[in-house]
Amino acid sequence: MHPHTKGRSAGVVVRALLSHAETCAVVDLASGQAWPMTAVNPAGLFEVFIPKRPAVFRYQLRTTRPGGELRQFFDPYSFLPTLGAQDLYLFNEGNEHRIYEKLGAQVRVMDDVHGVSFAVWAPSATQVSLVGNFNHWDSRYHPMRSLGSSGVWELFVPGVGEGEVYKFAIRDQQGTVRLKTDPYGTYFEAPPNNASVVCDVSRFAWSDVAWMERRRAQAGRLDRPISIYEVHLGSWRRKPEDANRPLSYRELGPVLADYVTEMGFTHVEFMPLAEHPFDGSWGYQVTGFFAPTHRYGRPADFAWLVDFLHQRGIGVILDWVPAHFPRDSFALAEFDGTHLYEHADPRKGAHMDWGTLIFNYGRNEVRCFLVANALAWLDRYHVDGLRVDAVASMLYLDYSREAGQWIPNKYGGRENLEAIDFLKQVNERVHQYHPGALMIAEESTSFPGVTKPVADGGLGFDLKWNMGWMHDTLRYFGKESVYRKWHQNDLTFGMLYQYAENFVTVFSHDEVVHGKGSMLYKMGAWHIAEKAANLRALYAHMWAYPGKKLLFMGGEFAQSREWNHDSSLDWHLCQYPDHEGVRLLVRDLNRLYSAQPALGQADFNPQSFRWISCQDADAGIISYLRTEPGEGSFLLVLGHFSGATRTYRIGVPRAGAWREVINTNSQYYGGTGLGNEGRRQTEDVVSDGYPQSINFTLPPLCTLIFEWTEAKPTPSS
């Protein structure tokens, strides 16, 4: 309906396309008056001019079908647009932080009428139509309204509700029609259909108020233990009796919570759960950025999982992928016939390693899409942080490119200034709206200030994966023990930059795939027992070393084979001492890390770490102290990574008894049991610059951790 003049008469004209209708009339809901419409096209196009009604009024359409069926319903075009000028202005400016509540499919009540408003950004389209089962996928029925220069197309469709599948039929400048899924869709069909599904994700009843209040109270504070268990949801545990299917979100919650609680991890980190068509991408090639994947249940089921973990005291971190997106024709690529979300020039818009496309971070609406996406996961699903994937590929224009394959920035440099500005913006907005949420960078270079606040010239992340330490340490432990004396630098070099950033010490999924070997098989030894001893020594060193912790699933029980995303972890291995011993050690290391202020609370305090000796490469020994700032407690860490048994004197800063709290050679962990009988007493022998020292027994391939306890007087006889 729209105002129209016919001759000297002012009125409104109403048109409707209704297939299989024999008659149609316009009904004024206020007066009940009806105006019969004229069929002007055999395809079902009806029209009527209503004179002396210059203003649009509230009406319905009344139709009859063959057989006399009578229907009366609202016309979608009788409703005003659901987006206002301010919404569109902020979106085009890149500052509508909750645009996910306005674009996409929003279940609404308009003028007391239930329905769904649809809105999509397609500025170069000549026509956009809504298609779905409700209109037989016929693009003639629901052409959307263009909201002017904003590039947004919108339509409220009464009577449509949750569960309806839909796509956008987008006609480009050349007349080609593309069927596209909703960039802001909240739920999707399974491949190969990939249609968006109307789903109201705002109605979940949360029960994690206490958790969220604690999280807010911890905003800006990293002086606490953070130990993360990285999980690929589809392969953590499966149902072999049910066609080997993965656990659903709701099935996973109780068993994962029990296991994580037993193991002492503080957080789980899920590999990407945003919708993706190809299982083999592990979730890193996203087509539905706002939708939890259909594979394990509905969006409400994912919310239930997060809520359940929160009630068990477990934080949830989600992998987030703003660095690239796949070329699938039904998704973002060439969305309106132009390079809308990606750069047109492949030197900036094509990812060389993964065959994917790179977001145009300089385009306001694209930046708005990505910032809102980050906020939506924290807002809708209460996740406690985002681990941002492939940050290095975003920071550098020449990432994985040869000369001539990239375009310098306006200053002639290699830094991607637009991506850097985007990362700063998203980190600031997350911390603004969700205090206490963590932003974690997977960044593999020495780019300065990744975890420095934006106000101080940094990128504004809270934490950064320590990829350098990981590579150096694995290179060392990958050598047979007899060759390690030439690689002592791999153990010590990382301390030169340890406090330059807020690091997470990680062994992630990337280290146990593509022929790299499992954590167990990386160890430089021939026999499983020796490999397990090496791995136990490595893990104890990792947990004692400064930095938050992350370990990929399966590594905690020394899975033998590489990770396979299509099958369950090999849980049956836990019946064997070499594997169960590693698991029990990781459990005890988490407990020690959380209980000792010198560890979890002092990760980023340079005064908490002190080398005692790190130069005896021939013996394969390192020793260092961890202490809280007030030095009220001390932990002595002894790493002995050669294959010999040694008696070795090490200086210590306090006289008295030093209690053995971890011995990775304990029989309990699968070792031989050789050690120091649970404690050692200092002697007044100068060593390593200290006036007292201890003569330790060092089993081969082990890490020992001792806690200082004040000397107690011997009872008189």
Catalytic sites, residue numbers: 389, 442
Nearest to 351 by CA among 287, 397, 289, 282: 397
The Cα 325–Cα 439 span in angstroms is: 20
What tokens appear for 449 in the block? 């200030």
Nearest to 468 by CA among 447, 450, 444, 484: 444
Q: How many CB atoms lie within 10 A of CB 527?
A: 9
State the Cα torsion 86-92-95-101 to the nearest 10°. 70
Whole-Å CA distances, 87 to 313, 378, 551, 569 = 38, 21, 43, 47
E-assigned strands of 221-273? Answer: 227-231, 238-239, 245-246, 267-270
Q: With contact defined as beta carbons under 8 Å apart, do 375 and 433 qualify?
A: yes
What tokens appear for 473 in the block? 């340490």
Q: With contact defined as beta carbons under 8 Å apart, do 333 and 180 qualify?
A: no
The Cα 661–Cα 32 span in angstroms is: 85
Phi/psi at 336 (5° precision)? -110, 25
Verify cis geometry, omega within 30 degrees of 0, for the bond prior to 192. yes
> How many residues does this entry show for the chain?
717
The CB-side HSE value for 167 (13 A sphere, CA atoms) comes to 21
What tokens appear for 205 in the block? 């009843």
Phi/psi at 626 (5° precision)? -120, 135
The CB-side HSE value for 130 (13 A sphere, CA atoms) comes to 28
Whole-Å CA distances, 436 to 224, 443, 604 = 12, 21, 17
